Structure 1
């Protein structure tokens, strides 16, 4: 699905974004007839409300879009996405003096409101189009939206059509479109090439486990993105209850998100050298499945006791992160739908992240506010390190007790991501309730914030 701005050629309908406190002034500009009509329709510029104003001939002469009051804007994002969804067919042109950040949010939200996942059933099309307003970088916004669409489509696709092989193909398609190259280590070759934990997690599935390695760019600082690609997670022999398994098609949300971010980077030609590593597996059940109590030896040489086969994401990431560190990139980032504990801590809308670099954390947090992609810093709390050490092996993949689950998972990964500039995101990758610009289903988290922060973090 391609979501772009409408062509600037031809007639447009003026659209006035307006806050409740400025509604009177906007209506004075449009005239008494418009004011009377707005009052009759009980339009009060509430968040996401839309109103078309007819001309004397009955055609749409103008439209109003509600931005909501201060409270509404604090609680919600993308008011213009709601407006777009409420407008009839037409080509609209924003009017007025939105500030730069608000104007970009309006454009981004509008394009995102046009998203439909229609692979398996027809969906009602989005009919209201937006002409790119002056003062925005239309190509940049379209590239960001395209990356988000890729992420959403990958997450929304059921595991029957998005197993490790299909995820590999998605990476190859992205690489081909952008002049990147891909190498894949698959099946028993994972053992030969030194990725024993990726192999152990995925060996029970018919769709072979694999490590996808995408590279792009020849000059500039080096950025390595590692995304968890567990295409479906039964929990393994520690099988999940059915209620917990229902959304496990999204357990490759980290992989989907780094591919979406990579799409943004490559499309817009950021001056850096990019590497994307995706351990793609299905955590299935068979006589080949790893067992509780097994001890695995990682690529790094650290041994890991398997106390819960449902804590598999950190295992595949560990081998991939070890490989990533071997090249000493300037910045290493992992993204994963890793723990339920993160959702308990911050809910589904915030993307928790971990870093030991205060400057990187500040840059990311400021970017998140600018681009309306909320994140929240969590601590690498060193006293919890002891919880990872079972005694019988170097590490425990599922510490007992249940406390600080997102933190202990991040600390586990840090044992392998021995890098001074390491960012880890423990994302959810799913919108449980529809919101403007974000229908129920897969969603990218943290990618837009990181993309906006990269020029500062990497001094681009």
Structure 2
């Protein structure tokens, strides 16, 4: 049990009363005059971000008014863990169990702290999960744990989150859920036909590697997740300026996302055969660093001219996408912190995605809205493919103009995926640039909850999972 939750109602639990503006007046009218006067004198407003302790005649506080936005279920009480004193709290409302689950997830995400290097002894407010059944409690716990894993991996500085450390995290996840994990490391990448991954990562003393996690029954439809694991990105010989390099510990965010999503899939026991492929590299600078103008023969056999060594993520992904397609899975989903252009297009708080599988988009949007985990589709506009033309190779690794950078990156990846293969590419920020309820500044999972809810619906008959809580 996460220490921000209490499984049972505590005898001395403080009651949280969530109210929006439409319900507030009616609630206030039912209160005794003393309480009405207190609320009015305190100038409480029933809107998000406002809460008010209600002292009883003995001076004790047993109830707290909480202003909410009726449209923001997940984040309704997500700011409270950082505002309330230590103790156990319970919700007093007529919400459906589903809505209570969402609010509890928000509470858990709002309780997140990254404490690897600086421990906090601040006491925790705990939310009672009494009234939820066992499956609902597990959904809350596993969602909070999975998103916490993504955040922890991204927040960890590169010195402690190099390819070998990322592999250790995958190994631990596999051990927890009974998955098998294998690695291909260093020069063995060449023999195993991962030339692009090797070329990007060979300059670092932290050996590049492919991390391959597999779980599930071979009789079930296969879902393959592919993650970009650039553990630090200097930009290579096309070196980034200092301000552009400052947050590049987060460039393994795609790998973190697929591990978090894998956690949710395995915890739920979805009837799928899961494979997770991660290319883990450190894009460093040394005498053997790959260079602008180099030509790489990829796993697929396509040749790629390196136009810019700072467009390395797509080189890491292309070998993995080729491998994923070799098995013709039911679905391939890749996550990557791939382009600044996607951030320009949708900002830092929306997961941009690109796909030709238009029949999947409506359901994905529906779950993104329901989970309050926004995603937005960008077009794979085929005429832009000519922007990747090279005079010496099959294609270049970056576009010839600064325009449509997220789309040309998607088109580059599309060259390694057959038209008949269902595939979705996510281009995410993986970082909150500002703090919001339930979403502290720092590493963040974007689109993971939406994608999991969609996969859960699509592969809707669960197995009996064998895992340790």
TM-score (norm 1): 0.95
Equivalent positions of 1:42-53 (< 5 A) are 42-53=43-54
Q: Confirm or deny: 8 A CA contact 2:7 2:130 kept in the other structure.
A: no
Give me the whole-angstrom Cα distance separating, in 2, the residues matched to 1:113 and 1:160: 27
Give me the whole-angstrom Cα distance separating, in 2, the residues matched to 1:164 and 1:369: 34
Three-state SS of the structure 2 residue aligned to 1:341 is helix
For structure 2, which runs of at least 5 residues remain unmatched after alignment?
462-469
2:105 matched to 1:104?
no
In the alignment, what sits opposite 2:120?
123
In the alignment, what sits opposite 1:85?
82
In the alignment, what sits opposite 1:247?
247
Q: Confirm or deny: 8 A CA contact 2:74 2:103 kept in the other structure.
A: no
Per-residue deviation, 1:458:
4.2
Q: Confirm or deny: 8 A CA contact 2:203 2:286 kept in the other structure.
A: yes
Give me the whole-angstrom Cα distance separating, in 2, the residues matched to 1:337 and 1:126: 35
Change in Cα spacing, 1:47 to 1:124, as seen in structure 2 (3 Å) is farther
Per-residue deviation, 1:403:
0.9
Give me the whole-angstrom Cα distance separating, in 2, the residues matched to 1:273 and 1:5: 32
Give me the whole-angstrom Cα distance separating, in 1, the residues matched to 2:81 and 2:36: 21
Give me the whole-angstrom Cα distance separating, in 2, the residues matched to 1:21 and 1:84: 25
2:305 matched to 1:308?
no
Per-residue deviation, 1:142:
1.2
Give me the whole-angstrom Cα distance separating, in 2, the residues matched to 1:4 and 1:195: 43
Give me the whole-angstrom Cα distance separating, in 1, the residues matched to 2:292 and 2:30: 70
Q: Confirm or deny: 8 A CA contact 1:341 1:405 kept in the other structure.
A: yes
2:35 matched to 1:34?
yes
Give me the whole-angstrom Cα distance separating, in 2, the residues matched to 1:234 and 1:37: 57
Give me the whole-angstrom Cα distance separating, in 1, the residues matched to 2:358 and 2:32: 53
Change in Cα spacing, 1:133 to 1:382, as seen in structure 2 (3 Å) is farther
Per-residue deviation, 1:259:
0.3
In the alignment, what sits opposite 2:450?
449
Q: How many residues align structurally? A: 456
2:414 matched to 1:414?
yes
Change in Cα spacing, 1:9 to 1:66, as seen in structure 2 (3 Å) is closer
Q: Confirm or deny: 8 A CA contact 1:114 1:126 kept in the other structure.
A: no
Q: Confirm or deny: 8 A CA contact 1:94 1:133 kept in the other structure.
A: no
Equivalent positions of 1:146-225 (< 5 A) are 146-218=145-217, 219-225=219-225
In the alignment, what sits opposite 1:323?
323
For structure 1, which runs of at least 5 residues remain unmatched after alignment?
none
Query: Which stretch has the larger CA shift, 418-427 or 82-91?
Result: 82-91
Give me the whole-angstrom Cα distance separating, in 1, the residues matched to 2:30 and 2:269: 43
Give me the whole-angstrom Cα distance separating, in 2, the residues matched to 1:255 and 1:3: 27
Give me the whole-angstrom Cα distance separating, in 1, the residues matched to 2:83 and 2:99: 19
Equivalent positions of 1:282-431 (< 5 A) are 282-418=282-418, 419-431=420-432
Query: Which stretch has the larger CA shift, 87-96 or 121-130?
Result: 121-130
Give me the whole-angstrom Cα distance separating, in 1, the residues matched to 2:37 and 2:86: 23
Per-residue deviation, 1:125:
3.5
Deviations 1:385-421 (CA, angstroms, capped at 9, x unpaired): 1111213100100111111000010011111122521
- Note the aligned Cα RMSD (angstroms): 1.8
Per-residue deviation, 1:306:
0.2
Per-residue deviation, 1:127:
2.3
Deviations 1:272-313 (CA, angstroms, capped at 9, x unpaired): 111000000000000010000000000000000001000000
Per-residue deviation, 1:15:
1.2
Q: Confirm or deny: 8 A CA contact 2:351 2:426 kept in the other structure.
A: yes
Per-residue deviation, 1:99:
4.8
Q: Confirm or deny: 8 A CA contact 1:51 1:87 kept in the other structure.
A: no
TM-score (norm 2): 0.94
In the alignment, what sits opposite 1:275?
275
Q: Confirm or deny: 8 A CA contact 2:325 2:421 kept in the other structure.
A: no
Q: Confirm or deny: 8 A CA contact 1:4 1:142 kept in the other structure.
A: no
Per-residue deviation, 1:447:
0.7
Change in Cα spacing, 1:93 to 1:351, as seen in structure 2 (3 Å) is same
Change in Cα spacing, 1:235 to 1:133, as seen in structure 2 (3 Å) is same
Q: Confirm or deny: 8 A CA contact 2:78 2:110 kept in the other structure.
A: yes
Change in Cα spacing, 1:249 to 1:130, as seen in structure 2 (3 Å) is same
In the alignment, what sits opposite 1:21?
22
In the alignment, what sits opposite 2:438?
437
In the alignment, what sits opposite 1:141?
140
Give me the whole-angstrom Cα distance separating, in 2, the residues matched to 1:99 and 1:379: 37
Deviations 1:161-194 (CA, angstroms, capped at 9, x unpaired): 0000000000001000110110100000000110
Per-residue deviation, 1:25:
1.9
Give me the whole-angstrom Cα distance separating, in 1, the residues matched to 2:37 and 2:458: 52
Give me the whole-angstrom Cα distance separating, in 1, the residues matched to 2:120 and 2:132: 33
Q: Confirm or deny: 8 A CA contact 2:182 2:211 kept in the other structure.
A: yes
Deviations 1:115-162 (CA, angstroms, capped at 9, x unpaired): 000111123646221111535712112111110000000000000000
Give me the whole-angstrom Cα distance separating, in 1, the residues matched to 2:262 and 2:3: 18
Q: Confirm or deny: 8 A CA contact 1:48 1:81 kept in the other structure.
A: no
